[in-house]
Structure 1
Amino acid sequence: MTLFSNLILVALGLLGLYFGGELLVTGASRIARRLGLSSLLIGLTIVAVGTSTPELFVSIWSALRGASGISLGNVIGSNIANIGLILGLTGIVATVTVHRNLVRREVPILIFVTIFTTLLMLDGELSRLDGILLLMGFIGFNGVFYWLSRRDVDDQADENLAEEETEDDVSSLWQPAFQVVGGIVLLLIGANLMVEGAANMARAVGVSETVIGLTMVAFGTSLPELATSMTAAVKKEADIAIGNIIGSNVANLLLVLGATTAIQPINISGASLTLLEPLVMIGFTVMLVPFVRNRVLATRESAMFLGAYLAFVIYSFLVSMAMPT
Structure 2
Amino acid sequence: MLLSMIAVIGGFVLLAWSADRTVLGASATARNFGISPLVIGLTIVGFGTSAPEMLVSGMAAWDGNTGLSIGNALGSNITNIALVLGVTALVVPLTVQSDTVRREIPILLAVSLFAFVLMNDGYLGRLDGALLMGGLALMLVMVVSLGLKSRNGDPLEDEYTEEMPAAMTTGRAVFWLLFGIVVMLLASRLLVWGAVNIAQAFGVSDLVIGLTIVAIGTSMPELMATLMSARKNEHDLALGNIIGSNMFNLLGVLGLPGLIAPDAFLPEVIMRDFPWMIGLTLALFVMSFGFRGPGRISRIEGGLLVAAYGAYMVMLYFSAIS
What TM-score range do you get, normalising by the shorter chain?
0.7 to 0.9
1:37–1:153 CA contact under 8 A, matched in 2: no
Q: Normalising by structure 1, what TM-score?
A: 0.79
1:202–1:216 CA contact under 8 A, matched in 2: no
1:69–1:272 CA contact under 8 A, matched in 2: no
Measured after TM superposition, the shift of residue 226 of structure 1 is: 2.4
Measured after TM superposition, the shift of residue 314 of structure 1 is: 0.8
Query: Given the alignment, which residue of 222, 225, 241 partners 1:225?
Result: 222
Match of 2:250 in 1: 253
Q: Distance in 2 between matches of 1:252 and 1:173?
A: 29
Cα deviation digits, residues 241-292 of structure 1 (max 9, x gap)? 22221111111111121222122223134x7644222111111111112111
Measured after TM superposition, the shift of residue 227 of structure 1 is: 3.0
Q: Distance in 2 between matches of 1:259 and 1:266?
A: 12
What does residue range 13-92 of structure 1 map to in structure 2 within 5 Å? 16=14, 35=34, 37=36, 39=38, 41-92=39-90
Q: Distance in 1 between matches of 2:160 and 2:86?
A: 30
Q: Distance in 2 between matches of 1:300 and 1:137?
A: 35
Cα 1:228–1:171 shift into 2, 3 Å: closer
Q: Distance in 2 between matches of 1:174 and 1:236?
A: 33
Aligned partner letter, 2:276 = V
Measured after TM superposition, the shift of residue 112 of structure 1 is: 0.3
The answer as to 2:309 corresponding to 1:309 is yes
- Aligned-pair Cα RMSD in Å: 3.6
Q: Distance in 1 between matches of 2:129 and 2:5?
A: 37
Match of 1:122 in 2: 120
Cα 1:159–1:211 shift into 2, 3 Å: closer
Q: Distance in 2 between matches of 1:14 and 1:65?
A: 19
Aligned partner letter, 1:73 = G
Measured after TM superposition, the shift of residue 137 of structure 1 is: 1.0
Q: How much identity, in percent, do the aligned residues show?
A: 40
Q: Distance in 2 between matches of 1:68 and 1:82?
A: 21
Measured after TM superposition, the shift of residue 160 of structure 1 is: 5.2
Cα deviation digits, residues 19-54 of structure 1 (max 9, x gap)? 567767877887898857354x54432122122222
1:59–1:74 CA contact under 8 A, matched in 2: yes
1:199–1:217 CA contact under 8 A, matched in 2: no
2:96–2:289 CA contact under 8 A, matched in 1: no
Which secondary structure does the structure 2 equivalent of 1:97 belong to?
strand
Measured after TM superposition, the shift of residue 152 of structure 1 is: 2.0
Measured after TM superposition, the shift of residue 139 of structure 1 is: 0.6
Measured after TM superposition, the shift of residue 59 of structure 1 is: 2.2
Q: Distance in 2 between matches of 1:28 and 1:74?
A: 24
Q: Distance in 2 between matches of 1:196 and 1:174?
A: 34
Q: Distance in 2 between matches of 1:43 and 1:74?
A: 23
The answer as to 2:278 corresponding to 1:279 is no
Measured after TM superposition, the shift of residue 181 of structure 1 is: 6.7
Aligned partner letter, 2:295 = R
Size of the aligned set, in residue pairs, is 315
Q: Distance in 1 between matches of 2:156 and 2:29?
A: 12
Match of 2:129 in 1: 131
What does residue range 144-293 of structure 1 map to in structure 2 within 5 Å? 144-155=142-153, 157=155, 204-269=201-266, 273-289=269-285, 290-293=287-290
